[in-house]
Chain A
């Protein structure tokens, strides 16, 4: 593949913060592993797997969301996520 010039190093911590810089540095497999850990913690803390109501989604229906939410709640807030 054709190679083009190099760029000076980017200070990712300065640009996006330490947490995201660290996340960017992981491989996809490492991210999957870390995300699975977050998933487990989230479930252990009682988090809901249903999405939060998203009125901007073309699929969103207020009536339907209430009817199909299994616990009648939006679930707890995630501490770390994209």
Chain B
């Protein structure tokens, strides 16, 4: 769902770890445990690998020791800020066929939402993910793709170009993304400022979402230190 998904969608060229979004029920976690055992994966850092932590929104971090996967990092999560539960995300997933087998990844729209974090590095990634989707379509336009671009593009010149090309669709999307008024007006300066404000608001929302979870992580660390 993370860096590897960004590679597949064209937003990144390389990722050092693998992020997995899982259904946190007992049967599935049992299967996951078996898979992680095969990889000789150890939990590193906090929290421990427990269903309640996954359901609470924390990520569990592993490092593998098995030959062929030595040193590989795997992060596991079960919930993502701003997104519905696993079943819905699974229904909306993208399936990619490769020589090495089938890969299931978050839908592009869900991945973009998941990347709206407080981290600097995620925002250029979002821009590239949506650009790559626009590039992939070439001159083809379908309503779903246009909706995604109008709501998620972060490249001012592309947004202005798209609004000029599809003024009715852009106007219809204004209630969902007010900054499209600047794109329709061709006002790049106002559009850049509005994009920045949009990003700042999402970063703040992410910080607020994580504040109690960070406290929880710190308490787990303190407990671990206290118990030696």
Contacts and interface: CB of A to CB of B under 8 A. Distances in A.
A57 B119 contact: yes
Contacts of B142: 1-4
A24 B103 CA distance: 19
A56 to B, nearest CB: 4
Interface in B83-136: 96-100, 103, 117-121, 125, 128, 131-132, 134-136
Given A2-B143, A56-B118, A28 B45 contact: no
B7 interface: yes
Given A3-B142, A5-B165, A51-B16, A68 B73 contact: no
A40 B134 CA distance: 30
A17 to B, nearest CB: 11
A2 B7 CA distance: 29
Given A31-B7, A64-B45, A49 B72 contact: yes
B165 A29 contact: no
Contacts of A82: 3, 6-7, 11-15, 125, 128
Contact of A29 (B96, B128, B135): B96
B14 A42 contact: yes
A60 B214 CA distance: 9
A64 B12 contact: no
B45 A68 contact: yes
Given A81-B14, A82-B7, A29 B99 contact: yes
Contacts of B155: 15
A35 B221 contact: no
A9 B79 CA distance: 39
Contacts of A49: 16-17, 71-73
A1 B13 CA distance: 31
A72 interface: no
A12 B98 CA distance: 26
Contact of B73 (A15, A21, A42, A50): A50
B71 A48 contact: yes
B217 interface: yes
A42 B161 CA distance: 38
Interface in B20-56: 44-46
Interface of B: 3, 6-17, 44-46, 59, 61, 63, 71-73, 96-100, 103, 117-121, 125, 128, 131-132, 134-136, 138-144, 146, 155, 157-158, 161-162, 165-166, 169, 210, 213-214, 217-218, 221
Interface of A: 1-10, 12, 15-16, 20-21, 23-26, 28-29, 31-35, 38-39, 42, 47-51, 54, 56-59, 61, 63-64, 68, 70, 75, 78, 80-82
Given A23-B10, A28-B9, 15 more contacts: A1-B144, A3-B143, A5-B165, A6-B140, A15-B157, A20-B128, A23-B13, A28-B96, A28-B98, A48-B71, A50-B73, A58-B217, A63-B221, A68-B45, A80-B14
